[in-house]
């Protein structure tokens, strides 16, 4: 995981910089908006690092993962004169954020003591590994958990900034089609999360009451519904939604490639590494998980 994190950090620095300088230069207005977003991002990342170090809860970024893209999207839309395409993108991102915030909150992630709440189980697993002992864990928290992840959240939202170039290009059929696609993937993600929630709730209810785990619950992990088609249908839909957000910038500019594609590409890399790590834990917990991997695709179905 440490090597994966280092690769992600290096990629996070190189890919945006290289693609930025090979693309058309930003206007002075876009540059001003971008730098303001960077300042906001840096401040939030630093605050998350400090709170996580003081509290010992390293899910501070997770708590606002679904909130910061909304802030960036509406700031850019407002600074861009509330152009109808930018507003549409901001509305879609807001719907995404509200749903994801709800899904996270019902797992006990939020409390009036904002620094407390449920911590992602994977951080505890990582902290126990020899390569993350001592100061290395604090460096990992600073560079990866806090700054890399917040930087990524800004990057996936920046197609809204690129779409500002298309202010003179009104909304068209492509934009409406993309909005429908975004909402379709949102429904898939919502359904997958709900299926997983119901499965885990019932499984833990049975464990708590001393009932034997029979039928689908004997397996121990979600594998029915959308999960019978893909091992991570929610991750698939999440990645697809941000690809759609990028495609809005394509519809606005008429160019299939621009530097803001780096956000959704880096998000795909993150989900690849994250799912690798999650599945390595599941393999150790559930005897049948290996067979599930062999017959079920990760992000796309196996036929």
For the segment 136-182, what is each residue's pLDDT rounded down to a tens digit? 889 888 988 899 899 999 999 999 999 998 777 888 999 999 999 99
Report the pLDDT value the prediction gives residue 298, as an integer from 0 to 100. 92
Please indicate, yes or no, if residue 28 is contained in any of the structural domains: yes
pLDDT at 126: 79
Let me know if residue 81 belongs to a domain. yes
In a domain, 207, yes or no: yes
**Would residue 303 count as lying in a domain?**
no
Q: How many domains does the chain have?
A: 1
Of 41, 37, 33, 40, the residue nearest 83 (C-alpha):
33
Give the contacts of 181 (CB within 8 A, at least 6 positions apart). Answer: 240, 244
Domain-embedded: residue 199: yes
Residue 19 has pLDDT above 90, yes or no: no
> Is position 90 within any domain?
yes
In angstroms, the CA 48 to CA 190 distance is: 27
Sequence-ordered list of residues with C-beta below 8 angstroms from that of 211, at least 6 positions apart, any chain? 205
Tokens of 255: 């160019």
Structural domain range at position 162: 2-295
Mean pLDDT along residues 272-297: 90
- Other beta carbons within 10 angstroms of residue 208's beta carbon come to 8
Please list the alpha-helical segments (H only) found in the chain.
2-22, 28-55, 60-64, 68-79, 84-105, 121-127, 135-140, 149-157, 159-163, 173-209, 233-253, 261-285, 289-295
Q: Which two tokens stand for residue 53?
A: 């170090």
**What is the per-residue pLDDT for 18?**
60
Q: Do 297 and 231 form a contact (C-beta atoms < 8 A)?
A: yes
Residue 300 lies in a domain: no
**Residue in 154, 155, 165, 150 with CA at minimum distance from that of residue 30:** 165
In a domain, 301, yes or no: no
| Structure confidence by residue, pLDDT tens digits, 85-144 | 999 999 999 999 999 999 888 877 777 677 677 777 777 887 888 878 888 889 888 988
Residue 249 confidence (pLDDT): 94
Does the model's pTM come out above 0.85? Answer: yes
Q: Which residue has the higher pLDDT, 261 or 16?
A: 261
């Amino acid at each position: 995981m440490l090597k994966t994190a280092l690769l992600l950090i290096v990629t996070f620095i190189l890919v945006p910089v290289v693609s930025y300088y090979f693309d058309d230069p930003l206007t002075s207005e876009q540059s001003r908006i971008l730098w303001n977003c960077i300042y906001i991002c840096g401040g939030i990342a630093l605050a998350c690092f400090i709170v996580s170090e003081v509290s010992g809860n390293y899910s501070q970024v997770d708590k606002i993962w679904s909130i910061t893209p909304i802030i960036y999207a509406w700031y850019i839309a407002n600074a861009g004169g509330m152009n109808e395409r930018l507003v549409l993108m901001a509305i879609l991102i807001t719907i995404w954020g509200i749903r994801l915030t709800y899904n996270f909150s019902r797992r006990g992630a939020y409390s009036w003591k904002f620094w407390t709440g449920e911590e992602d189980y994977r951080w505890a697993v990582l902290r126990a590994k020899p390569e993350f002992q001592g100061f290395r864990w604090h460096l990992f928290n600073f560079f990866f958990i806090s700054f890399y992840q917040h930087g990524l959240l800004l990057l996936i939202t920046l197609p809204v900034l690129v779409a500002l170039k298309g202010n003179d290009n009104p909304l068209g059929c492509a934009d409406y089609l993309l909005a429908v696609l975004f909402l379709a993937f949102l429904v898939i993600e919502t359904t997958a999360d709900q299926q997983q929630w119901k499965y885990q709730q019932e499984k833990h209810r049975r464990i708590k009451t001393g009932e034997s785990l029979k039928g689908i619950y004997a397996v121990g992990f979600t594998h029915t519904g959308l999960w019978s088609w893909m091992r991570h249908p929610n991750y698939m839909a999440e990645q697809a939604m941000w690809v759609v957000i990028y495609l809005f910038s394509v519809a606005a500019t008429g160019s299939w490639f621009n530097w803001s594609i780096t956000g959704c590409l880096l998000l795909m890399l993150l989900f690849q590494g994250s799912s690798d790590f999650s599945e390595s834990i599941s393999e150790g917990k559930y005897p049948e998980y290996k067979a599930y991997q062999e017959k079920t695709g990760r992000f796309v179905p196996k036929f």
